[in-house]
Amino acid sequence: MKEYLESNFGKDFDIESGIKIYTTLDPDLQEKAESLIKAQVEKNKLRSATSAALVAIDNSNGGVLSMVGSHDYWDTE
């Protein structure tokens, strides 16, 4: 998030300046989703699959509760 803010508002942007960021992400669900994806990728390797993704949405309001696009963000392959 800090990188996003700096890229859009400049390096001099002070994240502690009182800006409020609102999100529908649930930190506990996000952590669980990341853990599940890592475990599933290990199982998928037996089938020559190397990645997985997960999105959890609150059906009552459409808010994104957790989102994982890969088991390892920094893996370029």
For residue range 8-18, what is the model confidence (pLDDT) as tens digits? 777 777 666 76
At residue 32, what is the residue type? K
65 contacts 58 by C-beta, under 8 angstroms = yes
Looking at the DSSP assignment, which residues form a beta bridge with residue 67? 55
Percentage of the chain modeled with pLDDT above 90: 38
For residue range 26-72, what is the model confidence (pLDDT) as tens digits? 999 999 999 999 899 888 888 888 888 999 999 999 999 999 987 77
Instruction: Give the pairing type, strands 54-57 and 64-68.
Output: antiparallel
Q: Which pLDDT value is given to residue 36?
A: 93
Separation between Cα atoms, residue 76 and residue 73, nearest integer Å: 8
Containing 31, the helix (H) or strand (E) segment is helix 27-44
Spans of all domains in the chain: 23-77
pTM confidence score: 0.65
Give the CA distances from residue 69 to residues 29, 52, 62, in Å, rounded to whole numbers and listed in that order: 15, 7, 18
